[in-house]
Amino acid sequence: MKTSRSWVLVIAAALIGLGLVMVFSTSAVHAERFGSPTKLLLRQAVWLALGLAAMAVAWRLDYHFYERHWKAILALSCAGLALVLIPGLGTRFNGARRWVRVFGYGIQPSEFAKIGLAIFVAAYLSRSYGKLNSLVKGLLPAAAGVGAVFLLIALEPDTGTALLVGGVAFLMLFVGGIRMRHLAPIAAVAVPLFALVAFNHLDYIEDRVRAFLHPELDPTGAGYQPLQSVLALGEGGLFGRGLGCGQIKLHFLPEAHTDFILSIIGEELGLAGTLTVVALFVGLIYHGMKVAVTAPDRFGMLLVFGLMLFIGLQAAINIAVVTASVPTKGISLPLVSYGGSSLLASLFSLGMVMNVARAGDAVESREGELAEMVSDPGESALNPLAQ
């Protein structure tokens, strides 16, 4: 457990460090319109400081606090998501309401709703273990909470994050004991229905799917970002053009410092840099899941499982978008992309993981002492240093 905890910290630090370097490299030209090439880097540094403080708090706070207040946390998550839908409170950007302005900074409630949802599902599955075989008493109450978060995010609209939330919730419910014979019919109805509504009411969804299938048909419109992203990755070759020497970031690739920062990593650091990022995320999720497996109780295991799933699947989706393997979704690369809410939420999540890991260390230590006393009770009784 201690080894995995250390690796989680080391890998997270490596990703954050790389992120700061690439945010500056990617955004320096873009930030000049604000009067300084370091404008966005300094903003990201402020968010990093806040994130580290949040991580420290979560690391010290007993994770059972969230289990005791799971209903209030779900309610607060839904309230935050509802705020962005209120005209005058939510900020509209690119046709979506996803942010609330606080002291000049944009806060994205959906990033924190992911944490709230992981807490809700983990607490519900832990407290209702005896009811999980029942469709009415087991699955439906959990589905109602998940559905509320899913719907509020979809209304922004943010279909990418909504699908991420639904996917993580589905996996948590399955791992937590909900029977597949109950989950499968709901998924079989909900997924096609959501796709039908999205295609009929959100024109940009159809445009993105068409651009994904045939980006060459609209190279200056919906297909522009995927084409430029793949071009950047290809231009990087094996070892890249060199740090800071990328060309695509010079206003040729929109959102280069956020959703498509991996494209610039590929151009400047090459395939070697891209694969390094992928390997770091694989290592982070692997050691995070080891913390989940060795958690001292069911709630801790499910909580860490859900939090690491959010980070891992978000990274996988972003990588798939950047490589044009799936349609664009507006999902950033955790710990690396520019974005305060994402960085703050990710660090707070890792702080919670560290708290569960520390609790697991304490249990292992007590079990080790007990095993030592049982194996040699005479020495423990006679030697005061052994007590």
What span, in angstroms and rounded, lies between the C-alpha atoms of 99 and 92? 7
Residue 10, number of CB atoms within 10 A of its CB? 14
The predicted pLDDT at position 221 comes to: 75
> Which is nearest to 242 in space by CA: 44, 36, 21, 38?
21
* Three-state secondary-structure class, residue 172: helix
Residue of 71, 173, 83 lying closest to 129 (CA atoms): 173
Crossing angle of helices 109-127 and 70-83, in 10° steps, is 150
Q: Provide the b/e sequence for 256-293 (b: ≥16 CB within 10 Å).
A: bbbbbbbbbbbbbbbeebbeebeebbebbbebbbbbbe
pLDDT of residue 214: 74
Question: According to the model, what pLDDT value does residue 314 have?
Answer: 97
379 within 8 A of 314, measured Cβ to Cβ: no
Residue with tokens 């939510």: 90
Q: Name the residue among 18, 123, 21 with its Cα closest to residue 70.
A: 123
How far apart CA 141 and CA 62 sit, in angstroms, is 26
Give CA angle at 12 (46, 110), nearest 5°: 60
Contact 86, 379 (CB under 8 A): no
Per-residue model confidence (pLDDT) at position 1: 62
91 forms beta bridges with 99
Asked if 360 and 304 touch (Cβ cutoff 8 Å), the reply is: no
Whether the Cβ atoms of residue 176 and residue 130 lie closer than 8 Å to each other: no
Per-residue confidence (pLDDT) for residue 364, from 0 to 100? 61
Q: Given this model, what pLDDT does residue 119 score?
A: 98
CB neighbours of residue 37 within 10 Å: 14
> CA 341, CA 107: separation in Å to the nearest integer?
6
For the chain, give every domain's residue range: 65-332
| C-alpha span between 333 and 273 (Å, rounded) | 15
Which of these, 350, 272, 352, lies nearest to 13 by C-alpha position?
A: 350
User: pLDDT in tens for each of the 387 residues of the chain?
Assistant: 678 999 999 999 999 999 999 999 998 877 777 678 888 999 999 999 999 999 999 999 999 999 999 999 999 999 999 999 988 888 877 667 888 887 777 899 999 999 999 999 999 999 998 888 888 889 999 999 999 999 999 998 888 899 999 999 999 999 999 999 889 988 888 888 877 776 665 666 777 777 777 777 677 777 888 899 999 999 999 999 999 999 898 878 888 899 999 999 999 999 999 999 999 999 999 999 999 999 999 999 999 999 999 999 999 999 999 998 988 888 999 999 999 999 999 999 999 999 999 998 776 666 555 566 666 555 444 444 444
The two tokens of residue 31 are 């930030």
E strand or H helix at 358: helix 340-375
Q: Which two tokens stand for residue 6?
A: 């250390």
Q: What is the pLDDT of residue 363?
A: 67
